[in-house]
Amino acid sequence: MTEPVLEVRNLQLSFGALRATDGVSLTLCPGEIHALIGPNGAGKSTLIGLIAGTLKPDAGQVRLAGRDVTAADAAVRARAGLARSFQVSAVAADLTVLQNAVLAVQGARGQSFGFFRPALADAALRGAAEAHIARVGLSDRRTIPAGDLAHGERRRLELAMALALAPRAFVLDEPMAGMGPDGAREMTALLDDLRHEAPILLVEHDMDAVFALADRVSVLVSGRIIASGTVAEIRTDPEVRRAYLGEEMLE
Amino acid sequence: MRREAILNAAIAIALLAVPLAAQAMGEPFVITLATKVAILALAGVGLNIALGLGGMVSLGHAAFFGIGGYAMAVLAAPVQAYEPLMTWPVEVAGTKSMPIIWLAATLAGGLAALAIGALSLRTSGVYFIMITLAFGQMLYYFAISWPAYGGEDGLSIYVRNGFPGLNTLEPLQFFALCYGVLMVALLFSRVLARSRFGLALAGARQNPLRSAALGIRPYSVKLTAFVISGAITGLAGALFADLNRFVSPAMLSWQTSGEIMVFVILGGVARLFGPVAGAALFILLEHWLGGFSEYWKLFLGLALLGIVLFARGGLIGTIAGREVAHD
């Protein structure tokens, strides 16, 4: 088995008496899509926060490309190649699509402390940003403020910004949320393409997408991973059925 | 965008034309008013970088304004007392030279902003407002109890400081200096907003979590902006003290912080010429309404309420419309 790109070892975090993350371990290997599913309140967003560095664990370790990044903050992990998308679309709404993408490129390169030259006049920054926008099919929308984009377009802009980090691993929090069937299909195709860029840890409620994309599925319930395996294994796992999936979803 | 550019140019020309006309008509008081507008606008340009570009609602900018004023007094007072500024470890003389005073005031404002910002930016929202206010009040009470510079009574600097090649005692020449500094600050502010740093600051303001996820620490970006903001407001403080030839703790009071914020909100938050329009309107209201009624601030309050409720872009926004994303 190849070396995992992202590895989480025995991660724990409590909020008071609530054990939000209770000894979670998982790996993300090159080329794969590893889906993380679980009912509401299972602790998926907390786990993502711990992996991305916005939350600090009480115990455990996060390793990115073989390096221990547990003590590093979110900005350091991002520059080390951890590309994260948010459950609620997180773009700078007043900035245009192109400005958002340029922001992502300069962030990834650690070039945010230039005070004089206009950011958009920098050909290298702008070229890279336009390439990422083209990759997600937003080229003809690049002068639109991100806040005026349709929901699905904003989701794709987020992916373009994640791509700008030259990621080693994607951590995507419900990229299909709030999308219609067409949007979800397009996004599924895009994610299937992105896995060649870097492996994806995918938190998603859309089971069609999970079953279509995932190489492995882990099921998180009450802060614990209760099962982990291929799509076929998870579909037939009796504990998973009991804890989480409605019977009809598995037919 | 085009409309706003034309409006900005019109404001810049008007602010220059009024004192020139006043000079021709022999109205030196109007020149002083215009100078006051330019200086207060400069303080607002400083605050606008924190408030408008960075989303940091600072109710403590009087601290930087006052520190700039006191920096001027510390340097200039020894000269009028025929004493050295300090004798140990080396003897340093005071100075009446504006360029040196400006540099000192800018540095002092920036350093104070670094210290205050480094602590305040660990909080956000209403806590940030309160903690900046608290720092401002700390410095206010410090100045009151600082007898060397007049304590509560303040300190007069009898002769205005000098600038090489100009006669600063001539109102129009001093106005021209202040106007020049304001224009340079506005130009810098515009360049900054479009730079990579400006983009990072906009990102940190609108979505700090996302910024961090892009590898940009919002704290560092905001602190840098706060320092630049404090430095510019500090410079304005030195000019204001020179205009009045007087410093007092009033420059550090929270009312001053509030007034600087009013300039920005009246004119338009995050609009380049917002502080200029706001300061001009404020001074005009103060002198016109102040002539009718000593309760003129009641009307100012109503105007402010109206702008906050019905014209979110302030004066500039109302006239020029929604800000169009550049490029």
Domain boundaries, chain A: 1-81+167-251, 92-165
Q: Where are the domains of chain B?
A: 2-320
C-alpha distance from B326 to closest chain A C-alpha (Å): 9
Residue B325, pLDDT score: 47
Across the interface, whether the CB atoms of B224 and A92 are under 8 A apart is answered: no
Burial of B109 (0-12, 13-18, 19+ CB in 10 A): buried
Q: Which of B199, B214, B224 sits opposite A165 (nearest CB)?
A: B214
% of chain B exceeding 90 in pLDDT: 80
Whether the CB of B199 is below 8 Å from some CB of chain A: the reply is: yes
Residue B1, pLDDT score: 57
Q: What angle do CA B193, B197, B202 make, to 5 degrees?
A: 65
Q: State the SS3 of A188-209.
A: HHHHHHHCCCCCEEEECCCHHH
Its CATH class, for the domain covering A1-81+167-251, is: alpha beta
For the stretch B57-94, pLDDT in tens is 999 999 999 999 999 999 999 999 898 888 878 888 89
For the stretch B21-50, pLDDT in tens is 999 999 999 999 999 999 999 999 999 999
Residue A246, pLDDT score: 57
Q: Which of A78, A118, A125 sits opposite B214 (nearest CB)?
A: A78
Q: Which of A75, A117, A161 sits opposite B195 (nearest CB)?
A: A117
A89, A112, A116, A155: best mutation site toward chain B, by most B Cβ within 10 Å?
A112
Whether the CB of B279 is below 8 Å from some CB of chain A: the reply is: no
CATH 1.10.760 applies to domain B2-320: no
Instruction: Look at residue A244 and tell me whether its pLDDT is greater than 80.
Output: no
A87, A97, A103: best mutation site toward chain B, by most B Cβ within 10 Å?
A103
Q: Which of A78, A91, A108 sits opposite B207 (nearest CB)?
A: A91
Higher pLDDT among residues A70 and B91, named by residue: A70
User: How large is the average pLDDT for residues B297-319?
Assistant: 85
Across the interface, whether the CB atoms of B216 and A98 are under 8 A apart is answered: no
- Look at the block and give the residue holding tokens 């995932």: A214
User: How large is the average pLDDT for residues B85-109?
Assistant: 93
DSSP letter string over B120-172? HTTS-HHHHHHHHHHHHHHHHHHHHT-GGGTGGG-EE--SPPBBTTB-TTSHH
ipTM score of the complex?
0.89
